[in-house]
Amino acid sequence: MRVVFMGSPEFAVPCLRALAGAHEVTLVVSQPDKPAGRGGQLTAPAVKVAALELGLPVIQPRSARTGELRDAMRATGAELAVVVAYGKILPKDVLEVLPRGCINVHASILPRYRGAAPVQWSVINNDAETGVAIMQLDEGMDTGPVLLERRVAVDPDETSGELLARLAPIGAAALLEAVDGLANGALVAPPPDHARATHAPMLAKTDGAIDFAQPAAAVAARIRGVDPWPGAQAMLRGQLTKLFRARPVDGAGAPGTVLAIDATGARIATSDGAIVVRELQAPGRKRMTAQQFAAGRGIAVGDVLTKPTAEPT
């Protein structure tokens, strides 16, 4: 099948590579290059880099609403568009320009977690299961019918970044199955159950502020869910300190109090128990284990971590 591929971040690259190996990708559409790092150097999206390696034509329109994207897609003669974390809302004329429309690889089990950050909210909410859904796009926010899905268990120690990386190849395999099913007419999608829908809005920096007055399971899940962005942060000795690798454990004390530090991490009290934080990072310093952090006198038993009152950096 002749296909247009639309995507931007690393999560979309396995889908592009799989599709290019099995079908004719006539065009790759990605976000414009953006400044990155401290130097602000223009950096190409991961999908653009992969597309150029594969020898595929790439365009990077600044808007999906000017007609440029629609016309470029029509000119390819493709039958179907595949959208994987492209990063822009597509208007009706783009959704309908190709004969088979647009399908999307979405990293959740729809209709749960419609929106921009399904993996992050799945981890934050301590879900035991998530997965990938292949859906037909319409003008709503992930409201189209689901063509097929693949479910996986969420590891209790997994960060959102790790889960996203694990879901990427699963999504690629499901995508190939869906494209083949569309080609031979084998896929029939039931109408979506909008009453069961939940939403996963894009994370903000403030979502990384850790409140130890919450239950241990919720605190640990949030620390994992906001890793790698915006990152979990708490005030420690007057400084914003980043926290990594948390899990709930037994313990008792005033919320935020450091109860112990050993090879497993820093044990910190919450409202109903404690969590162990394996790694910490002070401003301008490298990330290190809790024992290393304590050896450098960055933390000690009896210290109290609190929720930042200003927006985390």
Q: Which residues contact 312 (CB under 8 A, 6 or more apart)?
A: 205, 206, 208, 209, 230, 231, 233, 240
Residues 69-85 have a mean pLDDT of 97
Mean pLDDT for the chain? 95
- CATH number for the domain harbouring residue 51: 3.40.50.170
Counting Cα atoms < 13 Å in the Cβ hemisphere of 31 gives 19
- CATH number for the domain harbouring residue 231: 3.10.25.10
Name the pTM for this structure.
0.93
Among candidates 32, 177, 175, 30, which has minimal Cα distance to 107? 175
Would you say residue 187 has pLDDT above 90?
Answer: no
Residues 156 and 289 reside in one and the same domain: no
Helices of type H across 82-212: 92-95, 118-124, 160-184
Would you say residue 190 has pLDDT above 90?
Answer: no
pLDDT at 256: 98
Residues 178-202 have a mean pLDDT of 89
Three-state DSSP at 149 gives: strand
How many independent structural domains does the chain possess? Answer: 2
Residues 39 and 186 reside in one and the same domain: yes
pLDDT at 63: 94
- The domain of 240 spans 205-295
Among candidates 33, 32, 90, which has minimal Cα distance to 66? 90
- The verdict on residue 308 lying in a domain is no
Domain boundary among 170, 196, 222: 196
pLDDT digits (tens, 9 = 90+) for 262-271: 999 999 999 9
